[in-house]
Structures are given as structure tokens and as C-alpha cells.
């Protein structure tokens, strides 16, 4: 990424033109961004003006306990559209998967960027990290623990973007029994503006959209209770699903190759977690708007929600309880039956004993007692 660090003074508009992006194409992107963020169309010129003038912001991308899927999503799926160029023209000063430098040179790039842009750079994190109570040796980069590197890098940052469900909520590393003591970024960073862009991986346009918003307004977008941008995570998959009419009519696929599945009916009974999942897949789709999981016939896994990995089987309907209910029922039933039988027999015994103790008394005897 060394090439991207110079020239720092060039504006985004100039860089886009250098990359052959027409003014028209650029404005189209701005209009699309405005609509994605639920802003009025009149905001598109304002976004364009802000982006034109934006200096290439320095971005430090930290990859911790992750699978690189987030980076794959970002770099591959949308290439070579204007969104990709937006990322080209931010100054991605450190990203140990993408950067050419290795070893000390790579770490020096991070330190350099931190010093040169102190207080202004943006930190993007993908992957969870071993928490303060975990063995720091569970995940290290250049001999530095993830926790230490995060704290050190974020100290001088303007804002932090947690990309992917691992960075946002702990994700797969945090799944039961969480052997590495993984925690999300939000557990560690509490004194900086933080945006969670969850998803496993997130929709690429959501990542670029969040960066565009930050460049345009210099402030965080409106966030939901999980610090996710409302513009992209404001509505559930279920509410925007094109198969929703089938749910409302009660038409469901019951296996992956039955008539319902072939007709494209609702996948609720096959384990779709769409009703509890908030993400932009249903509207923005994947692979440049080609398709998305439900459109290709697979239920939503709920990957943008916290603890999705532990939220029950992917192919079990949302209403199915977690754990082994049948076993609990049998055990509890047996215990209940045993206690019930015991109580019944005890009562029987009591009434028999009472009967045995019963003494008859005559009127004369009673009168004598009086």
C-alpha cells in the first residue's frame, strides 16, 4: 500500500478522474449513496461536493481473529466499480493481507500513519480479539497481542469501524465454548466513535457506504442499538424479503427439493432466520446485485446478529427452542410421575392408617365422657 500513501494532498475527485471515473458515474454513485442512507435526493450534490473535496483519509485496517472473508467480500465482489475506487483512494496505510510490505516494514507503515495523521485516521477492525482476561498469546501480530495493538492504534484514531460479525459481536471465535476468550471491539473500545458493520461477511456496499458517509459529513451515521448504521440495518430481512408474500399466505417449502422449494415459497420451516435478522441483503443483494442467499434458495443464517452461531441449528426453524427439549421433557416427566405416584401412595397409606386407627364410639360412651 506504500504507493497509495503518496500524494497525500490529492482530493478524492481528482483521484477518481485519474481512474477514469466520469463525472456522471460519480454523481450516480452519490445519488445511490444518498438513497441508501435514506437521505433526500437533494443531498446527492452535497455528497458529491464533500467527496470531491475530501482529502484521502488515512485508514488502518487491523485483522485479528478473522478468516479474511470480510476483506474478500470487500475487494473482490464489487471490482471494478466506483465503490471499489473509493476504497482505492482512501489511503489504506496498513492492511496486513493486502499490503505489499511485510515484517518490520509493515509494522512501521502502521506507526508512520498513526504519527502522520494523529487524531484524524480511521481504524477498521475485522475479527474478534482475545479479551483482557484471555491468554494474549492466543492471537498476535508481529509479537504484539491483538488487545495491545488495538488499544495502541485506536488511541489516536478519529473513529473505529468494526467490520464483520467477529469484530462487531465476537462472531465465530466467540461461539461456545469460546476457547480463545474472544471479545468484540466494542468490549474494549468505549471512548471513541464506533460503528459496527456486521455480517459474515458484510455487504461490500455497506462498508463503502459507511466510509462515504463519514467522508461526507465527518460524523457517524445514525446507529441502531448495536451501533450499526440504521440506513443499512434498519429493516429486517423478513420485512424486505421478496418471498414474504408466501409467508403471509402460509406457503412454505418443507424440504429443499419439494414443490414449495421449486416454486420459491417461504423458507421459514427450513430454518430461515430472516425474521430476527437486520441487514441489507434483501435490498442490496450480493455480487453486484446478482442474487442473495434466499434468492438462491437457502434460508438466512442470521449472520449479522450477535451470537448467530449459537442461536440454534441453521436448518431448524426460528421457533424451535435451543437445547434438547425432548430429553428435558422425558426426565422431568419421569420425576413428576414418580413424585406423583409417591404422593398418591402416601395419601392412600394415610387414609388406610386413619381407617385402621378409627375407633367406634357409642352414644353411651360419649355421654359418659360428658
The footprint of another protein (CB under 8 A) covers: 224-226, 236, 238-239, 247-252, 268-269, 275-276, 278, 305-307, 310-312, 316-323, 325-326, 328-329, 331-333, 335-337, 339-341, 343-345, 347-348
Q: How far is the CB of 69 from another protein (least distance, A)?
A: 21
| E strand intervals along the chain | 58-63, 91-95, 122-126, 129-130, 140-141, 144-145, 159-163, 182-183, 194-197
Containing H/E element for 364? Answer: helix 363-369
Q: How far is the CB of 338 from another protein (least distance, A)?
A: 8
The nearer residue to another protein, 15 or 273, going by C-beta atoms, is: 273
Q: How far is the CB of 355 from another protein (least distance, A)?
A: 11
The nearer residue to another protein, 101 or 276, going by C-beta atoms, is: 276
Q: Are 141 and 96 in contact (CB under 8 A)?
A: yes
The nearer residue to another protein, 296 or 319, going by C-beta atoms, is: 319
The nearer residue to another protein, 176 or 257, going by C-beta atoms, is: 176
Q: How far is the CB of 297 from another protein (least distance, A)?
A: 19
Q: Are 262 and 272 in contact (CB under 8 A)?
A: no
Cβ neighbours of 330 (radius 10 Å) = 11
Q: What distance in Å separates the CA atoms of residue 263 and residue 136, rounded to the nearest whole number?
A: 51
Edge-first strand order for the sheet with 122-126 is 91-95, 58-63, 122-126, 159-163, 194-197
The nearer residue to another protein, 76 or 348, going by C-beta atoms, is: 348
Q: How far is the CB of 298 from another protein (least distance, A)?
A: 18
Q: How far is the CB of 232 from another protein (least distance, A)?
A: 15
Q: What distance in Å separates the CA atoms of residue 106 and residue 109, rounded to the nearest whole number?
A: 5
The cell 512501521 sits on which residue?
Answer: 108
The nearer residue to another protein, 103 or 321, going by C-beta atoms, is: 321
Q: How far is the CB of 311 from another protein (least distance, A)?
A: 6
Dihedral, CA of residue 308, residue 311, residue 314 and residue 318, to nearest 10: -120
The nearer residue to another protein, 255 or 331, going by C-beta atoms, is: 331
Cβ neighbours of 229 (radius 10 Å) = 23
Amino acid at each position: 500500500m506504500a504507493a497509495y500513501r503518496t500524494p497525500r494532498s490529492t482530493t478524492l475527485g481528482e483521484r477518481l478522474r485519474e481512474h477514469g471515473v466520469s463525472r456522471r458515474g460519480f454523481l450516480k454513485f452519490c445519488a445511490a449513496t444518498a438513497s441508501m442512507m435514506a437521505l433526500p435526493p437533494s443531498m446527492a450534490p452535497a455528497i458529491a461536493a464533500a467527496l470531491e473535496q475530501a482529502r484521502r483519509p488515512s485508514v488502518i485496517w487491523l485483522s485479528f481473529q478473522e478468516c479474511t472473508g470480510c476483506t474478500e467480500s470487500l475487494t473482490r465482489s464489487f471490482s471494478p466499480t466506483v465503490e471499489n475506487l473509493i476504497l482505492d483512494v482512501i489511503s489504506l496505510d496498513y492492511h496486513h493481507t493486502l499490503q505489499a510490505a511485510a515484517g518490520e516494514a509493515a509494522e512501521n507503515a502502521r506507526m508512520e500513519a498513526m504519527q502522520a495523521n494523529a487524531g484524524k485516521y480511521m481504524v477498521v477492525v475485522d475479527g474478534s480479539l482475545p479479551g483482557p482476561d484471555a491468554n494474549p498469546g492466543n492471537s498476535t501480530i508481529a509479537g504484539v497481542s491483538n488487545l495491545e495493538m488495538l488499544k495502541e492504534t485506536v488511541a489516536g484514531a478519529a473513529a473505529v469501524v468494526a467490520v464483520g460479525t467477529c469484530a462487531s459481536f465476537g462472531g465465530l471465535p466467540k461461539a461456545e465454548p469460546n476457547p480463545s476468550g474472544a471479545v468484540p471491539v466494542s468490549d474494549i473500545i468505549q471512548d471513541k466513535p464506533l460503528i459496527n458493520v456486521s455480517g459474515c461477511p458484510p455487504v461490500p456496499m455497506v462498508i463503502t457506504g459507511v466510509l462515504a458517509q463519514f467522508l461526507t459529513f465527518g460524523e457517524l451515521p445514525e446507529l441502531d442499538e448495536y451501533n450499526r448504521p440504521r440506513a443499512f440495518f434498519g429493516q429486517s430481512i423478513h420485512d424486505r424479503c421478496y418471498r414474504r408474500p408466501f409467508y403471509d399466505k402460509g406457503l412454505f417449502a418443507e424440504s429443499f427439493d419439494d414443490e414449495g422449494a421449486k416454486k420459491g415459497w417461504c423458507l421459514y420451516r427450513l430454518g430461515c432466520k430472516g425474521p430476527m435478522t437486520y441487514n441489507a441483503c434483501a435490498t442490496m443483494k450480493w455480487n453486484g446485485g446478482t442474487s442473495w442467499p434466499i434468492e438462491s434458495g437457502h434460508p438466512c443464517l442470521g449472520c449479522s446478529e450477535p451470537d448467530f452461531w449459537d442461536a440454534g441449528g441453521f436448518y431448524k426453524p426460528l421457533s424451535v427452542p435451543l437445547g434438547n427439549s425432548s430429553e428435558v421433557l422425558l426426565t422431568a416427566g419421569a420425576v413428576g410421575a414418580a413424585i406423583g405416584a409417591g404422593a398418591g401412595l402416601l395419601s392412600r397409606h394415610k387414609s388406610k392408617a386413619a381407617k385402621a386407627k378409627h375407633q367406634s364410639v357409642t352414644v353411651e360412651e360419649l355421654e359418659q365422657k360428658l
